C-alpha cells in the first residue's frame, strides 16, 4: 500500500498548489534519555553489541564499554586511506559492518566494510557495482516469523542508498533488499512527505528495532521515523519477453514500492546513524555529533497514549512513568528507591510533591529523606536531577556535609567556584569539567563509593575519581573537614536537599557493591579555581574557623 498522501501531493504539485502534508504523530511511542558518554569518534553514527558500543567517524572507529563509557580500543585508516566516508554500522556475529561511500564524489562508489570486533582490524569488504546512490546504512533483516516484517522482506540485508541536494535529488534515495550473497531482491522509495522532512538530505540511519519494525533517522532533525513496507514486486524475463534489458546482473528485476511513514518520534539526537541494543529491549544508542557524545535512550510504545498527527500543534505527550530497571541494573543488583507515584519509604514535611513521575521541591520546609535503610558502606547510587534558574541543591549520602552538589552553574553565584559547582563534592573536590546540560533539561547523576575511593558522575562521565587517603588531596580533604565532614565516616540516610529553590529528582536507584567487584578507575584532574572565587572561598574558611559565640 502506498502512502495515503502521495497521490494528493502529486495532484497538488501538478496544479501548482503548495502541499501542507500532515506529519504522522508519535503513535504512542515515547523517548526518554538515560545517559550520555563522550566518544571522540561520534561523528557519523554508533553500533552496539552485548558489552560495547562502537562510535563511528569518517575513517575511524572507537570501541567503548557500555557500562562505564571507557574507551578500550580503536581503528583509524587515516584521511588519505581507502576508507573515506563511513556511515552507519551494525554488529552481527562478532563482526562490525559499516556502510561506506565516496560521498560527495561522483560517480558514487559504495561498499560494506567489515571489522572483527575483538581485534578491531578489517576482515572483509563487499563492493557494490554501479550502486544507485551513496550507501548510508545496511542491516540484517529479521527472519520470517515477525508479523511486522513481511515474508517478502525477511532474511538477507536491507540497505539505503542516499542522494543529497548538494549533488543530486534526495527523492532518488532508495532502500533495497539483498539476499545473503548481496543479490538484489526488492526496492522501496521514501514517501515524498518524508523526503521533504529530510530537508535536502536523506536517511542517515536505519535499523530494525522493537517488534522487528523498521526505524530510520534523517541527517539533522531530532526525530526517529517508523516505517512500514509496501509491496515490492518482481518482473522476470523469459525467452519470449523482450521488454526487459538483457543484462547479466539478474534474471528478475524488482519493481520499486513505497515505504509507509507510520510514526514520528521526537528524540534528543540530531539525526545520524543509530543502533538498537541487542540485550536491552527498547534501548537506543544514537549520537550528538556536535557534542561528540553517544546518547543512550529508551524508546517504548505506551499502549494508552493518544496519537496526534497535526503539523500545527506539538505532539501530545503520554503521561510519564518511572523508568524500570534495565537488564544491566537488575544484573548488578540495583533496587529502585522511588516508584514515580508515592512517597513510600521517604520522609518530608509536605513541601515536596510528585509531578510527572519526579520528586518536586515545591515549597520551603526541609529535605526529603529515604528512611528505609542507611546507605551501604560500598555503594552505587544513580539518579536524575533538574534545576530551576539559580537553583542550589544537593544529594547527601554520608554523615555530615558529604554532598553531591546539584546546581544551576550559570544562574547561581556558587557556579563561579568549581569546588561548589554541579557534581562537585561540595567545598572539597571540583569536577574535571562542567558536563551539565542546558537549564530545564534532565541530568544523570551517579555516586560511587568503594573503600576509600569516591566517584561522582555526571551525564555519563566520571568527573570526580579520587582516593581520599592519597596525600596529594590533603588540602581538599582539610577543606571538607573544616566544613563539617569526615570522609571516613559511614552510615547515613540519603537526603535530597531543600535549599530554597525548586528542584526535581527522579529514577533513584541504589545497590551495594560486593567486595569482589573491582572498581574501574579513571584519570582525574579537578578544574582550577579562579582567583576571585578562591579569594571568596578563603574568606569563608576564615569565617568558619572563628570561634562561635556562646
Percentage with pLDDT > 70 across the chain:
85
pLDDT score of 124 more than 60:
yes
Concatenate the DSSP letters of all residues of 252-276 into one string.
Answer: EEEPEEE-EEEEEEE-SS-SS--EE
Rounded mean pLDDT, 433-447: 93
In a domain, 317, yes or no: no
pLDDT score of 152 more than 60:
no
Rounded mean pLDDT, 152-162: 83
Kindly report the pTM of this predicted structure: 0.54
pLDDT score of 445 more than 50:
yes
Following CA atoms 99, 222, 64, 298 in sequence, which dihedral angle do they give, to the nearest 10 degrees? -110
In a domain, 311, yes or no: no
Q: Model confidence over 463-514: pLDDT tens digits?
A: 999 999 999 999 999 999 999 889 999 999 999 999 999 999 999 999 999 9
Give the lowest-confidence range in 142-151, 246-255, 332-341: 246-255
Distance CA 38, CA 432 (A): 13
Rounded mean pLDDT, 172-201: 93
Considering the domain architecture, whether residues 54 and 172 belong to the same structural domain is answered as yes
Distance of CA 117 to the CA centre of its chain: 21
Number of domains in the chain: 2
Q: Model confidence over 334-347: pLDDT tens digits?
A: 999 999 999 999 99
Q: Are 118 and 126 in contact (CB under 8 A)?
A: no
Which of the pair, 420 or 250, is modelled with greater confidence?
A: 420
In a domain, 315, yes or no: no
pLDDT score of 236 more than 80:
no
Distance CA 521, CA 130 (A): 50
Domain enclosing residue 168, as ranges: 6-301
Considering the domain architecture, whether residues 374 and 249 belong to the same structural domain is answered as no
Read off the pLDDT band of 55 (50, 70, 90): very high
In a domain, 226, yes or no: yes
- Would you say the C-alpha torsion 258, 259, 260, 264 has a positive or negative sign? negative
Q: Are 526 and 516 in contact (CB under 8 A)?
A: no
Rounded mean pLDDT, 296-318: 48
Considering the domain architecture, whether residues 394 and 280 belong to the same structural domain is answered as no
No. of helices (H) and no. of strands (E), the chain: 5, 36
CA angle 224, 230, 236 (to 5 degrees): 135
Q: Are 23 and 308 in contact (CB under 8 A)?
A: no
Considering the domain architecture, whether residues 343 and 441 belong to the same structural domain is answered as yes
Read off the pLDDT band of 314 (50, 70, 90): very low
Read off the pLDDT band of 29 (50, 70, 90): confident
Distance CA 520, CA 364 (A): 39
State the helix-helix crossing angle for 474-483 and 531-545, rounded to 10 degrees.
50
Closest CA to 427 of 525, 534, 547: 534
In a domain, 285, yes or no: yes
Closest CA to 130 of 108, 162, 163: 108
- Where do we find the cell 497514549? 305
In a domain, 316, yes or no: no
Concatenate the DSSP letters of all residues of 484-505 into one string.
Answer: T--TT------EE---SS-EEE
Considering the domain architecture, whether residues 274 and 349 belong to the same structural domain is answered as no
Considering the domain architecture, whether residues 458 and 400 belong to the same structural domain is answered as yes
Considering the domain architecture, whether residues 119 and 17 belong to the same structural domain is answered as yes
Concatenate the DSSP letters of all residues of 36-81 into one string.
Answer: EEE-TTTTSEEEE-SSEEEEE-SSEEEEEETTT--EEEEEE--TTS
CATH classification of the domain holding 126: 2.40.128.630
In a domain, 314, yes or no: no
In the chain the first and final C-alpha atoms are separated, in Å, by 85
CA angle 437, 502, 439 (to 5 degrees): 20
Considering the domain architecture, whether residues 272 and 335 belong to the same structural domain is answered as no
Distance CA 366, CA 542 (A): 28
Considering the domain architecture, whether residues 362 and 486 belong to the same structural domain is answered as yes
Residue 326 confidence (pLDDT)? 82
Q: Are 432 and 422 in contact (CB under 8 A)?
A: no
- Where do we find the cell 529502585? 336
Considering the domain architecture, whether residues 364 and 445 belong to the same structural domain is answered as yes
CATH classification of the domain holding 356: 2.60.120.560
Distance CA 458, CA 168 (A): 43
Distance CA 431, CA 78 (A): 34
Rounded mean pLDDT, 105-113: 94
- Where do we find the cell 534519555? 33
What is the number of other CB atoms lying within 10 angstroms of the CB of residue 379? 19
In a domain, 309, yes or no: no
Cell matching residue 180: 545473503
Residue 150 confidence (pLDDT)? 58
Considering the domain architecture, whether residues 91 and 37 belong to the same structural domain is answered as yes
- Would you say the C-alpha torsion 126, 135, 40, 461 has a positive or negative sign? negative
If phi over 0 gives left and psi between -120 and 50 gives alpha, with beta otherwise, what is residue 153?
alpha
Read off the pLDDT band of 302 (50, 70, 90): low
Rounded mean pLDDT, 41-56: 96
**Contacts by 104-108 with C-beta closer than 8 Å and gap 24+?**
104/164, 104/166, 104/167, 106/167, 108/133, 108/134, 108/161
Considering the domain architecture, whether residues 208 and 283 belong to the same structural domain is answered as yes
Average pLDDT, the chain: 86
Read off the pLDDT band of 247 (50, 70, 90): very low
Amino acid at each position: 500500500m502506498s502512502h495515503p498522501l502521495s497521490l494528493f501531493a502529486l495532484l497538488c504539485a501538478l496544479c501548482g498548489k503548495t502541499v501542507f502534508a500532515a506529519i504522522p504523530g508519535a503513535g504512542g511511542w515515547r523517548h526518554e534519555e538515560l545517559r550520555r558518554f563522550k566518544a571522540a569518534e561520534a561523528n557519523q553514527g554508533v553500533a552496539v553489541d552485548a558489552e560495547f558500543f562502537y562510535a563511528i567517524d569518517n575513517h575511524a572507529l572507537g570501541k567503548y564499554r557500555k557500562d562505564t563509557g571507557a574507551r578500550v580500543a580503536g581503528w583509524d585508516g587515516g584521511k588519505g586511506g581507502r576508507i573515506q566516508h563511513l556511515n552507519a554500522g551494525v554488529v552481527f556475529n562478532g563482526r562490525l559492518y559499516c556502510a561506506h561511500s565516496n560521498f560527495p564524489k561522483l560517480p558514487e562508489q559504495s561498499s560494506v566494510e567489515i571489522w572483527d570486533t575483538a581485534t578491531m582490524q578489517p576482515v572483509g569488504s563487499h563492493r557494490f557495482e554501479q550502486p544507485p546512490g551513496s550507501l548510508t546504512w545496511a542491516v540484517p533483516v529479521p527472519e520470517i516469523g515477525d508479523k511486522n516484517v513481511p515474508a517478502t522482506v525477511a532474511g538477507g540485508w536491507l540497505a539505503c542508498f542516499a542522494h543529497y541536494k548538494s549533488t543530486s535529488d534526495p527523492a532518488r534515495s532508495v532502500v533495497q533488499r539483498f539476499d545473503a550473497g548481496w543479490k538484489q531482491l526488492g526496492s522501496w522509495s521514501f514517501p515524498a512527505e518524508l523526503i521533504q522532512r529530510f530537508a535536502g538530505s536523506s536517511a542517515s540511519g536505519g535499523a530494525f528495532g522493537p517488534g522487528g519494525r523498521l526505524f530510520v533517522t534523517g541527517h539533522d532533525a531530532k526525530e526517529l521515523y517508523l516505517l512500514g513496507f509496501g509491496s515490492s514486486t518482481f518482473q522476470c524475463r523469459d525467452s519470449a519477453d523482450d521488454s526487459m534489458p538483457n543484462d547479466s546482473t539478474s534474471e528478475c528485476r524488482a519493481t520499486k514500492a513505497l515505504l509507509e511513514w507510520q510514526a514520528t518520534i521526537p528524540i534528543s539526537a540530531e539525526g545520524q546513524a543509530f543502533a538498537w541494543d541487542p540485550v536491552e529491549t527498547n534501548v537506543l544508542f544514537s549520537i550528538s555529533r556536535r557534542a561528540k557524545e553517544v546518547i543512550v535512550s529508551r524508546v517504548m510504545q505506551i499502549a494508552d497514549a493518544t496519537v496526534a498527527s497535526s503539523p500545527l500543534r506539538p505532539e501530545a505527550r503520554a503521561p510519564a512513568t518511572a523508568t524500570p530497571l534495565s537488564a544491566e541494573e537488575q544484573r548488578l543488583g540495583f533496587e529502585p528507591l522511588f516508584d514515580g507515584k508515592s512517597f513510600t519509604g521517604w520522609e518530608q514535611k509536605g513541601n515536596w510533591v510528585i509531578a510527572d513521575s519526579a520528586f518536586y521541591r515545591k515549597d520551603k520546609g526541609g529535605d526529603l529523606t529515604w528512611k528505609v535503610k542507611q546507605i551501604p558502606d560500598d555503594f552505587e547510587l544513580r539518579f536524575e536531577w533538574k534545576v530551576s534558574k539559580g537553583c542550589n541543591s544537593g544529594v547527601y549520602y554520608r554523615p555530615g556535609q558529604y554532598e553531591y552538589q546539584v546546581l544551576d552553574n550559570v544562574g547561581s553565584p556558587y557556579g563561579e567556584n568549581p569546588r561548589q559547582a554541579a557534581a562537585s563534592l561540595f567545598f572539597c573536590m571540583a569536577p574535571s569539567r562542567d558536563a551539565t546540560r542546558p537549564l530545564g533539561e534532565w541530568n544523570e547523576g551517579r555516586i560511587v563509593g568503594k573503600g576509600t575511593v569516591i566517584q561522582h558522575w555526571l551525564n555519563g562521565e566520571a568527573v570526580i575519581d579520587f582516593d581520599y587517603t592519597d596525600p596529594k588531596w590533603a588540602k581538599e580533604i582539610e577543606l571538607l573537614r573544616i566544613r563539617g565532614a569526615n570522609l571516613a565516616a559511614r552510615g547515613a540516610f540519603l537526603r535530597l536537599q531543600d535549599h530554597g529553590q525548586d528542584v526535581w529528582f527522579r529514577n533513584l536507584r541504589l545497590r551495594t557493591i560486593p567486595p569482589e567487584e573491582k572498581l574501574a578507575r579513571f584519570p582525574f584532574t579537578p578544574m582550577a579555581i579562579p582567583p576571585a572565587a578562591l579569594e571568596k572561598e578563603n574568606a569563608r574558611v576564615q569565617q568558619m574557623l572563628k570561634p562561635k559565640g556562646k
